[in-house]
Every structure is written in C-alpha cells, then in structure tokens.
Amino acid sequence: MLNDVASVTLSTALSALAARQRVSANNIANLETPNFRAGQVSFEDNLRRAVEAGEPAQAAVTLTTSTAPAGINGNNVSLDTETLIDQKTALQYRLLSGAMSSKFGLIDTVLKG
Amino acid sequence: MTLSAIGAISAALPSFTPRTSDVTGLDGPGPAAASTSSGFAAMLEKGITAVESAQSKADGLAVHAATGDLTDIHDYTIAATQAALVTQLATTIRTKGVDAFNQIMGMQA
Amino acid sequence: MSIFSAISTSGTGLSTFRTWIDVIANNMANLNTVKPTSEPAFQAQYVQAQDIAGRADGIGAGVGITALPASSAEGRLSYQPNNPLADAKGYVRLPDIDMAEQMGNLIMAQRAFQANAAVVDRARDTYLDAINIGKNR
C-alpha cells in the first residue's frame, strides 16, 4: 500500500530533508570551530531524474563540502545562510509531511466511508 | 471561484434527482428502474473519474514540492484539499447508493 | 525559480549586507593603520553589488556582490616625526577613511539587513499559511 510514485518520492524527500537538517545543525554547532568547512546536502536534481526514470526510491542524497571562502580561522560556516537553509528545510518538511498525511487521509476516507 | 472537480460530480446530480423522484412517484414499471441504475452507475463513474483526476493533479504537485520545483505552495494545498473533498463526496454518494440498494432489497424480502 | 523563492531572494540580501558590514568593520579597524610613505596607504574597501536576474517570470532573484573596489592608495600624509615608520622628513601615510561616511554606511547596511530579515519572517509566515490551507477542516 502507498507505493505509488508520489508517496515514494515524498518519503525519499522527507529522509533527505531530515539529513539536511542534521547537517545544518552540525554546521551551526561548528560556527567557531577552526578550519571547519560547512557541509551541504543536495538531492533535488537526483530526485527529479529518479522520478522521471520512475524509480524515486533510487535517488541519491549527496553530502558535499561548501567551497565558500573561509574566514580568518579557516571556517566557512555562514550563520545567515545556515539559518535560512534551516527555515526552508523546516517549511518543506512541514509541507511534505502534510502531503503524506493528506494521502493517508484519502485512504482513510475511502475505508471509513 | 469554482471547484472544477466537484463541479464535475455535482453536474451529474440534477440528472439523478429527477429520476429518484420518478422512482418514488411510479409504481415501478421495469424500464424506469433500469434507467435509474444506469444513471447512478454513469454518475458514479463520472465521479470516480473526477476523483482520479483530482488525486493525480495533487500527486503531481506533491512530486514537484518534493523536488523543490513547486513555485506556488497554495497550488498544491488547494489541489490536495480538492482531492480530499471530491473523495469524501464520492464516498458519501457510494455509501448512500449502497444504502438505497439495501433498502430496495429489504422491500422485496 | 524554485520552492520558497522569497526566502532565497531575501537570503541574497542578507549575505550582501552582512558582507557590507564585514567590509565596514575592516575599514573601521584600519582607521589608524600607519604605513611608511614608501608604501601605499591602507585602502578602504567598498561593496559593489548588482541585481541577479534569472527567473522566467521576470522577477529578479536578489542581489549579489560583484566587486570590492578599493579607495585611493595615496591616503593622507601626516607629520609624526616620533613614529618609527616616519620617513626622513617625519611623514607617515594614513588611510583616507571618512569615519562619518563609514558610520552612515554601517547604519544603512544594518537597516537593510534588518529589512531583509523581516522579509524572511513575513515570507515564512505566508508560506506557513499556504501550507495550512485545508488543514483546519
């Protein structure tokens, strides 16, 4: 049940967003750590291609290191960028989990009449 | 503002209502009952098509939201709400139809 | 143009104005940086920004820093014979930084940062409202 393209895409994206939240939290925690380089999670392009290929579960979530210029202590975490990533990720997580709930809701409606 | 998918179902409703009155008004010649069942079946089919199209529209937008390509969030949330409402409407009509059938069966027994 | 584009657009503003504040901080820190007359003075930096095009519907995608132009290397000469960096005539080179101008820029940069942060907040509330459509049935 619920193994259609939309449901699998949603659950894949939710996992990726959770990973992005963890990485963002780690970046903010290391705001002042010397020589720390910010991590970045990307999955959107992979997921888009995977959906087009009809295999959304196969979409890879990649973790890369930010190439942004570093400060005096060799750290390149930008607090404003991280805060925005955090906010956007939280919003998208909320949107997608709501989408998942509404798909469950449809089944619930049909079952209970 | 129009809910097009709901409109598709409700468009079928007026043609249904006069026929039920036909049934209650008549002492049951066969052809009238037959046309009623085909009318209800057609309406249900039309309703299911509307449900399917509303759900697939919402699914498509949900995939766009997942891949980060959804520009207008409300496009998805409105489509999802429409899909939920159309599904509820179709389920209600199905339940009522089955109830009516059961009632008619009970009358024969 | 992708999801939550208003937040991304304001984000470019936040980064730009934060960089501007960083640049002003550096200029202010070097307000009294003395150089011998044989060397160029500390050069105050300015921020050159440009709008980012790139959305299909014609709405701009924010702002980006294109260059950090430096002010004149000539600076101003100051007579400080006791300064170890002074030349034979007793002159040293000081940067030509107008503190009032820098302070004015600092206030502008700070207010602009706050304005962009406010846009992020409002945009977030708006997106939340859009997400909650149909939830309170």
B32-44 pLDDT, tens digit each? 444 455 787 888 8
Q: Are B70 and A94 in contact (CB under 8 A)?
A: no
Look at residue C48 and give its three-state secondary structure. strand
Mean pLDDT of chain B: 74
Q: Which residues of C touch A (CB under 8 A)?
A: 2-4, 7-8, 10-11, 14-15, 18, 120, 124, 127-128, 131, 134-135
Terminal Cα distance for chain B, rounded: 47
Contacts of C137 in chain B (CB under 8 A): 81, 84
Contacts of C131 in chain A (CB under 8 A): 91, 94-95, 98
Of A81, A94, A92, nearest to A39 by C-alpha is: A81
Q: Are A44 and B67 in contact (CB under 8 A)?
A: yes
pLDDT of B105 above 60: yes
Q: Which two tokens stand for residue C107?
A: 């206030």
Listed as ranges, residues in chain C with pLDDT below 70 are: 1, 137
Q: How far apart are CA C14 and CA C111, in angstroms?
A: 11
> Residue C63: beta bridge partners?
C51
Q: Do C7 and A92 touch (CB under 8 A)?
A: no
ipTM for the predicted complex comes to 0.88
pLDDT of B27 above 70: no
CA distance C103 to chain B (A): 39
In chain A, DSSP finds a helix count (H) and a strand count (E) of 3, 2
User: Is residue C91 within 8 angstroms of chain B, CB to CB?
Assistant: no
pLDDT of B51 above 60: yes
With residues binned 3-state (H G I as helix, E B as strand, rest as coil), the percentages for chain A, rounded to 5, are 65, 5, 30
- Beta-carbon contacts of C130 under 8 Å, excluding residues fewer than 6 positions away, are B72, B73, B74, B77
pLDDT of B24 above 60: no
Confidence of residue B108 (pLDDT cuts 50, 70, 90): low
pLDDT digits (tens, 9 = 90+) for A13-69: 999 999 999 999 999 999 999 999 999 999 999 999 999 998 888 899 999 999 998
**pTM of the full predicted structure?**
0.80
Confidence of residue A96 (pLDDT cuts 50, 70, 90): very high
pLDDT of B93 above 80: yes
Q: Do C2 and B71 touch (CB under 8 A)?
A: yes
Q: Are C49 and C116 in contact (CB under 8 A)?
A: no
Contacts of A4 in chain B (CB under 8 A): 59
CA distance A73 to chain B (A): 34
Look at residue A41 and give its three-state secondary structure. strand
Q: Do C135 and A78 touch (CB under 8 A)?
A: no
